[in-house]
Amino acid sequence: MAQDLISTPLQYIKGVGPRRAADLARAGMLTVEDLLLRFPMRYEDRAAPCEIRHLKPGMTATVTAEVVSSGVRQTRRPGFRLFEAIVRDATGGITKAVFPNQAFLKDVFTPGQRVVLFGALEYRPSGGLQFTNPEYELIRPEKDADDEDASVHTGRIVPIYEKSGTMTPRMQRALVHRLLQDLPKDVADPLPAPIRERRGLPSRADAIRAVHFPPPGTNVDELNAFRTPAHQRLIFEEFFLFQAGMVLRKRRHAEDRKPRPVTVDDRIRESARKVLPFKLTEGQRVALREIVDDMRRPEPMNRLLQGDVGAGKTIVALLAALVAMENGLQVAFMAPTEILADQHYLTIRRLLDQSRFRIVSLTGGLTPAKRREVHAEIASGTAQLVIGTHALAEADLAFHALGLVIIDEQHRFGVMQRASLRAKGRHPDVLVMTATPIPRTLALTTYGDLDVSVIRELPPGRQPITTVSKSESKREEIYRLVRKQLDARRQAYVIYPLVEESEKVDLRAATAMADHLQQEIFPEYRVALLHGRLKQEEKDRVMSAFARGEVDLLVSTTVVEVGVDVPNATVMVVEHAERFGLSQLHQLRGRVGRGEHPSTCVLLYQFPLSEDAKARLRALVETTDGFVIAERDLEIRGPGDFFGTRQSGIPTLRVGDLLRDHALMEEARREAVAWLDEPAASRALAAYVSANWAARFGLVGVG
């Protein structure tokens, strides 16, 4: 039984009950192990709480005190009432806790009640030093207090948990305390003993105990920074297991064998040269060589091609596709949006015009009859290259001989879609491309199972983009700047934010803006509007008119964000720039500066401007280097938001933090790679990881 405790579902634990179990489950805790691996969000030193007489304004403190009196005070603002409690601690110091509009607390803070208060102190001229809206916890009066009050909730360093539904931090503390008493000393430890010993890490059982109920004397600042040996050990464990899974996954793929690796001869080289409209940059050449080398190997390629916006990834992918097709293999090219898929389709069809290959497009917008026809061509092999959206990953699409899968703008696709497209061939080569430079830290986690090629430089002849951020009040000046470009026969974008919550309003604003620009500002130029709500044909019509230069100024929502390529467009005005994310603005900006003429990007903002928004605009003005921007974005937003969705391949980490702990992640990777190099020793770890990886990290399994 004892050994099983850790895997016991929480609903079977005495005192948890169905309601609490459901609340915990909603917060991601199903088993005792889940609960024990949920770190307290912070710690309070209730062994040595601050004495009230030592409190000072501006300080954040914990005090243990008794309620002297309390009551609701009317304020001069109508309907606004303050609940106030006067409290006194054991040394006789007196202070006040104020809770705006929480009159119900008068039944809670009754005279004689013992409480722990935690929060920031402020000084009010009217009433002196006070806690405003502090966190509080009630302690039973001294006379009724039991052992639990004395030993679990006070008189020690106490863990504070995040509230999960009806499960209060205090209840969770009591529950964890109880479970830890039943926890055996020798909890199974997935960390190999030699690694643990060499790194001087505590055992799993000891670490779990110390992280919840730190031994007396532990430094509270270190606890709150998650830096104690116990914290570090559990974070290392998490990273180590994650990296072990990545290594195993990569190794498993490496055991796969393609039915037939590609070969490259002079005839193929010649056919590639023929389609090439320009000389490849050094970066493109190196990337292409790495890709083709992979394709010639017996094990399937799993490669990420990273290159900033405009670096020229498409042509590299196309040449790889050509090599596959010359070898009698089919190629699937998946793009994240229909606009982008169509654009790739048009570009590639133009480049391969003279070739003998048949290229088809497959998107969600096809009629059923057309779709059937395209499916049939792919199944029979008469079409060699299919370019499309996630419609390519649909279950009823079968290939004749799929040999290469190319996925553009990877982070928009789920790992699932990558897997299901891959499954349509017999171990096809996979090339994923992304224009979001992945900060080193994240690359290690999201793409740890991929090999990486990076195109650093942009094609020659590109003019730098000048970026300025301007307040709305400078609108006239900006219009003059746009007009100058239009007069020089260049084209312009005006970008409108569109967020789901206010979609209707935003759409109306974008539409009104397009009308206004056409009628009042640029009557002699052709203005068009593009947004996601238009019918597919309409979108296509607008976009290709802009690409052909038949539209001078395109007012658009962020549907042009990824990959759209119109080299003659040299100015972009982003309305409400303060509402966009940093990476998104960088992607948008990449729509200009794609041709031979210098370009300008104007970020128009409106007040109020948050600190984050200011930081974003500043970063964009300062640099056009996507890698720098990605690092900044990560700092501002944190890893969870960086990619948007969980499906993106970011693991669900419960104790580690990719930013805070990235050095530890690198060490964990090194240790995992080294450990798994020893087949005999690594068997136990491999078994543990296969059984637990998917559940622990919320990702597609290793096996």
Cα distances (angstroms) measured from residue 282 to each of 277, 313, 459: 16, 13, 9
The reply on whether position 459 binds ligand ADP by CB under 6 A is yes
Give the pair of three-digit tokens for residue 695.
């559940």
Residue at shortest CB range from ligand ADP: 312
Interface residues for ligand ADP in 90-109 (CB under 6 A)?
none
309 binds, among Mg ion, ligand ADP, none (CB under 5 to 8 A by kind): ligand ADP
Of 543, 684, 661, 678, the residue nearest 39 (C-alpha): 661
Nearer to Mg ion by C-beta: 563 or 626?
563
Partner in contact with 410, chosen from Mg ion, ligand ADP, none, beta carbon below 5 to 8 Å by kind: none
User: Cis ω on the peptide bond leading into residue 608 (within 30° of 0)?
Assistant: yes
Decide whether 592 or 685 has the Cβ nearer to Mg ion.
592
Binding mask 552-571 for ligand ADP (x = CB under 6 A): -----------x-x-x----
Size of the site for ligand ADP (CB under 6 A): 19
Q: Which one, 350 or 670, has the nearer CB to ligand ADP?
A: 350
The yes or no reply on residue 123 touching ligand ADP (CB under 6 A) is no
Interface segment toward ligand ADP; rule CB under 6 A; list 308-316, 357-365, 628-636, 657-665: 308-316
**Could you tell me how far CA 498 lies from the centroid of its own chain?**
20
Q: Which is it for the CA torsion 668, 212, 158, 165, positive or negative?
A: positive
Q: Is 626 in the site for Mg ion (CB under 5 A)?
A: no
Is 314 one of the binding residues for ligand ADP (CB under 6 A)? Answer: yes
> Considering the complex, what minimum distance in angstroms separates the CB of residue 176 from Mg ion?
49
Residue 34: CB atoms within 10 Å? 20
Asked if 549 is part of the footprint of ligand ADP (rule: CB under 6 A), the reply reads: no
We find the least distance from the C-beta atom of residue 436 to ligand ADP, in angstroms, to be 11
Report the DSSP pairing between strands 330-334 and 402-408.
Answer: parallel
Quick check: 281 binds ligand ADP (CB under 6 A)? yes
Beta-bridge partners for 70: 85
Dist. CA 427–CA 296, nearest whole Å = 13
Rule CB under 5 A: say whether 563 interacts with Mg ion. Answer: yes
Point out which span in 197-205, 307-315, 445-453, 476-484 binds ligand ADP (CB under 6 A): 307-315
For the bound state, the minimum distance from the C-beta of residue 336 to ligand ADP, rounded and expressed in Å, comes to 12
Q: Which listed range, 63-71, 121-129, 424-432, 558-566, lies at the site for Mg ion (CB under 5 A)?
A: 558-566
Binding site partner of 284, from Mg ion, ligand ADP, none, Cβ cut-off 5-8 A by kind:
ligand ADP
Selection from ligand ADP, Mg ion, none that 292 binds (CB < 5 to 8 A by kind) is none
Residue 97 backbone dihedrals phi, psi, to 5 degrees: -120, 130
**331, 448, 455, 689 from 683: Cα distances, Å:** 37, 21, 38, 10
Report in angstroms how near the CB of residue 425 gets to ligand ADP at its nearest: 24
| Four-point Cα dihedral 358, 361, 362, 366, nearest 10 | -120
Q: Does 312 bind ligand ADP (CB under 6 A)?
A: yes
User: Of these, 70, 271, 284, 587, which contacts ligand ADP (CB under 6 A)?
Assistant: 284
**Phi–psi pair at 307, nearest 5 degrees:** -165, 135
Buried b (16+ CB within 10 A) or exposed e, 403-434: bbbbbbbbbbbbbebbebbbebbebbbbbbbb
Residue 412 and residue 410: Cα distance in Å, rounded? 5
The dihedral built from the CA positions of residue 104, 109, 115 and 119, taken in this order, carries a sign that is: positive
**Token representation of residue 182:** 């039943």
Q: 492 and 525 in contact (C-beta within 8 Å)?
A: no
CB of 330 to ligand ADP, least distance (A): 22
Q: Is 313 in the site for ligand ADP (CB under 6 A)?
A: yes
Alpha carbon 234 to its chain's center: 23
Q: Which residues bind ligand ADP (CB under 6 A)?
A: 278-281, 284, 307, 309-315, 435, 459, 563, 565, 567, 594
The residues binding Mg ion (CB under 5 A) are 563
